[in-house]
């Protein structure tokens, strides 16, 4: 699903590489935590996976495509096959819950009939049935993140990328979001989640990839957040 | 892609940025109106050239008795019939440059002069003797006057060789000057309009960065992300072009109903010329705005 071959990334005007000679492979259907302190290269790793950046050297393969060789105009098509969730939810404040999810389908040109059918389905799936017409500002943080997950998942992507999805949530809401991500993972979707949340990582016992100063320092099949933190 | 969704996005964008939109519309309208005016003046000059150049003649004036005293080239006295006939022979040899030539006797010339200046006090004093006789020469190419000039000026019995076109050239010069002035102002206004469009699109892209960010995230194509901005700029330009067309039609109305009555010897180009220019302005304005928006987005809306 995701393969990094000796990937390094150095941003312009910076001496130290943000990512240095990282090689790893994530299989279809896996649930993977990406951990590491701030500046460890987590964000760069995700940006390379989303092809918001290109590697300085090495190859990034996502869903069978070499992203370094993918031409610009094919990038939107590639992004339609994966979903993204962020710490700050990234919802449109002037659209209702249902409109926020529908927006993602409208801008890729889905017909109205299909949108009307799948939006209520996916809102039910994330546990927001009955709140279709609420505005994001009226919802709790946990509910807003569920809307964002609904939007990311509405196209049934093969890969879901989550960048600290519980970063702004209290522990109770965080557990709810993790249960939802776990359910999505069980449908066969690969989940890659960057996080700082030690409790969640320790509890889930999934594969853990740790980065430190751009280097891959740990890749553990059923890992915990860290040996000593 | 659904038209209704796109149209509502355009409406929201234009309203959010109303002051800038108005500035764009007005500056586009002024620059396009000047561009149109410049084109129409050119049409007017061409139409007048075609009309008048057909009628202008070169006149070869012969010496009169009176000229013997006050014009050195006529010191020998009035032109003889032989001299007049010799000029005719030379003119006939100059076909095809010379289209035709007719002789105007002193009596005919005097009558013309009297008809055109009935109130002139000199009418009672001057006799037919005072007005020179002349060959009126029509040229196939009125711009080759210099050949006639060099062939006949200074020959015995010839007082002067005059080109009526010279008189018109001054008028055309004035009109050409106006056209150039309109063009220069148009270029300046156009740069103002383009800079305003660039700025409007930039502000618009910034104020909607959340939407466009999400659009990119969920895999909207570049075209889909950029289209609302381009359509907004093109729509503002369309409003400007419509305003410019209104100004041109108003100007044309003024010329037809006011100027045409004051200045009757000029044939003014009609509304059909204006109607030919208008579609040109609309297309040019919209394409220009769309291209400016597109180039701005390449810089300010990374996809």
Predicted-complex ipTM score: 0.81
> Which region among A23-32, A167-176, B158-167, B176-185 has the lowest average model confidence (pLDDT)?
B158-167
More confident residue, B237 or A229: B237
Q: Would you say residue A192 has pLDDT above 90? A: yes
Chain A positions touching chain B (beta carbons under 8 Å): 72-73, 75-81, 84, 90, 92, 103-104, 106-109, 112, 151, 155
> Which region among A63-67, A163-167, B63-67, B200-204 has the lowest average model confidence (pLDDT)?
B63-67
Q: What is the pLDDT of residues B257-301, one digit of tens each?
A: 888 777 776 777 878 888 989 999 999 999 999 999 999 998 877
Q: Does an H or E element contain B226, and which?
A: helix B222-254
Determine the pLDDT at residue B74.
77
Q: Would you say residue A229 has pLDDT above 60? A: no
pLDDT average, residue stretch A5-17: 91
> Would you call B133 exposed, middle or buried from its count of C-beta atoms within 10 A (0-12, 13-18, 19+)?
buried
Q: Which residue of A has its CA nearest to B216?
A: A76
Q: What is the pLDDT of residues B71-89, one digit of tens each?
A: 777 777 777 888 888 888 8
Q: How far is B250 from chain A (nearest CA, A)?
A: 43
Q: Would you say residue B153 has pLDDT above 70? A: yes
Taking the C-alpha atoms of residue B259 and residue B261, their distance in angstroms, rounded to an integer, is 5
| B contacts of A90 (beta carbons < 8 Å) | 210, 213-214, 217
Question: Which residues fall within 8 angstroms of residue B28, CB to CB, at 6 or more apart?
Answer: B193, B197, B236, B237, B239, B240, B241, B244, B285, B289
Q: How far is A185 from chain B (nearest CA, A)?
A: 19
Q: What is the pLDDT of residues B89-103, one digit of tens each?
A: 888 887 778 888 888
> Which of A212, A159, A177 is CA-nearest to residue A18?
A212
Determine the pLDDT at residue A123.
95
Q: How confident is the model at residue A7 (pLDDT cuts 50, 70, 90)?
A: very high
pLDDT average, residue stretch B203-218: 86
pLDDT average, residue stretch B235-244: 94
Q: Which residue of B has its CA nearest to A75?
A: B219
- List of long-range contacts for B170-178, beta carbons under 8 Å, 24+ apart: B171/B48, B172/B45, B172/B48, B172/B49, B175/B41, B175/B44, B175/B45, B175/B48, B176/B45, B178/B41
Taking the C-alpha atoms of residue A103 and residue A109, their distance in angstroms, rounded to an integer, is 10
End-to-end CA, chain A? 31
Q: Would you say residue B127 has pLDDT above 70? A: yes
CA distances from B195 to B28, B291, B295 (A): 11, 12, 12
| B contacts of A103 (beta carbons < 8 Å) | 214, 218
> Which of B247, B250, B242, B252 is CA-nearest to residue B282?
B242
Nearest to A80 among B2, B5, B219 (CB): B219
- CATH architecture assigned to B57-163: 2-Layer Sandwich (3.30)
Taking the C-alpha atoms of residue B226 and residue B209, their distance in angstroms, rounded to an integer, is 12
Reduced to 3 states, what is the DSSP secondary structure of residue A217? strand
pLDDT average, residue stretch A51-79: 91
Q: How far is A109 from chain B (nearest CA, A)?
A: 4
Contact check, Cβ <8 Å, A90/B217: yes
Taking the C-alpha atoms of residue A69 and residue A92, their distance in angstroms, rounded to an integer, is 33
| B contacts of A65 (beta carbons < 8 Å) | none
Contact check, Cβ <8 Å, A90/B210: yes
pLDDT average, residue stretch A34-62: 92
Q: How confident is the model at residue A208 (pLDDT cuts 50, 70, 90)?
A: very high
**CATH 3.30.70.3040 domain position(s) in chain B:** 57-163
Determine the pLDDT at residue A44.
93
Determine the pLDDT at residue A9.
94
pTM: 0.71
pLDDT average, residue stretch A168-189: 93
Q: Which residue of A has its CA nearest to B302?
A: A52
More confident residue, A217 or B300: A217
CA distances from B65 to A99, B60, B62, B85, B127 (A): 100, 16, 10, 18, 12
Q: Would you say residue B1 has pLDDT above 60? A: no
Q: Tell me what percent of the residues of chain B surpass a pLDDT of 70.
A: 96
Q: Would you say residue B23 has pLDDT above 80? A: yes
Q: Which residue of B has its CA nearest to A82?
A: B218
Spatial contact of A78 and A70, defined as CB atoms under 8 Å apart: yes
Q: What is the pLDDT of residues B35-79, one digit of tens each?
A: 888 888 888 888 877 777 777 788 888 888 777 777 777 777 777
pLDDT average, residue stretch B163-183: 80
**Tokens 């729509």 map to which residue?**
B235
Instruction: Report how many Cβ contacts below 8 Å link chain A to chain B.
Output: 51
Question: Which residues fall within 8 angstroms of residue A57, CB to CB, at 6 or more apart?
Answer: A6, A7, A8
Q: Tell me what percent of the residues of chain A surpass a pLDDT of 90.
A: 75
- Chain A interface test: which of B8, B217, B229, B301 (most A C-beta within 10 Å): B217
pLDDT average, residue stretch A24-42: 93
Q: Which residue of A has its CA nearest to B303?
A: A72
| B contacts of A76 (beta carbons < 8 Å) | 216, 219-222, 303
pLDDT average, residue stretch A131-139: 94
Q: Would you say residue A115 has pLDDT above 80? A: yes
Determine the pLDDT at residue A190.
96
**What is chain B's mean pLDDT, rounded?**
83
Q: Would you say residue A162 has pLDDT above 90? A: yes
Nearest to B2 among A73, A92, A106 (CB): A106
More confident residue, A12 or B121: A12
Q: Tell me what percent of the residues of chain B surpass a pLDDT of 90.
A: 16
Determine the pLDDT at residue B99.
81
Determine the pLDDT at residue B174.
84
Q: Where are the beta strands (DSSP E) in chain A?
A: 2-9, 19-26, 31-35, 57-62, 65-66, 82-86, 159-163, 190-194, 207-212, 215-220
| A contacts of B2 (beta carbons < 8 Å) | 106, 109, 112
Q: How confident is the model at residue A150 (pLDDT cuts 50, 70, 90)?
A: very high
**What is chain A's mean pLDDT, rounded?**
92
Q: What is the pLDDT of residues A101-114, one digit of tens each?
A: 998 898 888 899 99
Q: Would you say residue B303 has pLDDT above 60? A: no
Nearest to B219 among A92, A103, A108 (CB): A108
Instruction: Write down the domain spans for chain A.
Output: 90-156
pLDDT average, residue stretch A162-178: 93
């Amino acid at each position: 699903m995701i393969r990094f071959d000796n990937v390094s990334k150095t941003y312009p005007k910076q001496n130290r590489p943000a990512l240095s000679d990282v090689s790893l492979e994530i299989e279809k259907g896996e649930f993977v935590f990406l951990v590491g302190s701030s500046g460890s290269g987590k964000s760069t790793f995700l940006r390379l996976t989303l092809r918001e950046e290109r590697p300085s050297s090495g190859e990034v393969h996502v869903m069978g495509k070499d992203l370094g060789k993918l031409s610009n105009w094919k990038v939107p098509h590639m992004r339609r096959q994966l979903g993204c969730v962020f710490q700050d939810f990234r919802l449109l404040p002037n659209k209702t819950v249902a409109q926020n999810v529908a927006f993602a389908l409208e801008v890729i040109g889905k017909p109205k009939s299909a949108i009307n059918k799948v939006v209520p389905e996916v809102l039910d799936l994330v546990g927001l049935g009955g709140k279709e017409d609420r505005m994001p500002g009226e919802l709790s943080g946990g509910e807003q993140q569920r809307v964002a997950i609904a939007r990311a998942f509405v196209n049934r992507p093969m890969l879901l990328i989550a960048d600290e999805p519980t970063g702004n949530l209290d522990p109770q809401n965080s557990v709810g979001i993790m249960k939802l991500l776990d359910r999505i993972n069980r449908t066969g979707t690969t989940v890659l989640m960057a996080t700082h949340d030690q409790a969640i990582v320790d509890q889930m016992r999934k594969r853990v990839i740790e980065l430190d100063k751009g280097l891959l320092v740990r890749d553990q099949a059923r890992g915990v957040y860290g040996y000593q933190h | 892609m659904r038209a209704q969704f796109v149209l509502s996005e355009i409406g929201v964008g234009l309203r959010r940025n109303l002051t800038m939109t108005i500035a764009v519309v007005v500056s586009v309208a002024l620059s396009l109106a000047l561009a149109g005016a410049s084109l129409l003046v050119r049409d007017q000059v061409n139409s007048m050239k075609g009309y008048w150049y057909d009628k202008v003649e070169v006149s070869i004036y012969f010496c009169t008795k009176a000229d013997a005293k006050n014009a050195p080239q006529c010191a020998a006295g009035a032109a003889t019939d032989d001299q007049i006939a010799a000029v005719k022979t030379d003119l006939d040899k100059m076909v095809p440059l010379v289209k035709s030539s007719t002789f105007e006797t002193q009596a005919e010339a005097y009558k013309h002069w009297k008809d055109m200046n009935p109130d002139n006090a000199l009418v009672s004093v001057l006799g037919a003797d005072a007005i020179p006789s002349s060959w009126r020469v029509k040229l196939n190419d009125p711009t080759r006057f210099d050949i006639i000039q060099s062939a006949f000026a200074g020959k015995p019995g010839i007082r002067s060789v005059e080109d009526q076109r010279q008189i018109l050239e001054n008028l055309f010069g004035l009109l050409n000057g106006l056209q150039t002035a309109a063009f220069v102002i148009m270029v300046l206004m156009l740069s103002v309009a383009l800079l305003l469009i660039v700025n409007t699109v930039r502000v618009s892209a910034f104020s909607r960065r959340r939407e466009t960010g999400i659009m990119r995230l969920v895999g909207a194509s570049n075209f889909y992300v950029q289209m609302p901005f381009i359509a907004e700029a093109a729509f503002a330009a369309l409003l400007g072009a419509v305003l410019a067309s209104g100004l041109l039609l108003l100007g044309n109305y003024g010329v037809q109903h006011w100027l045409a009555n004051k200045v009757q010897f000029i044939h003014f180009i009609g509304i059909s010329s204006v109607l030919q220019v208008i579609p040109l302005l609309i297309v040019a304005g919209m394409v220009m705005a769309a291209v400016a928006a597109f180039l701005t987005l390449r810089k300010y809306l990374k996809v």
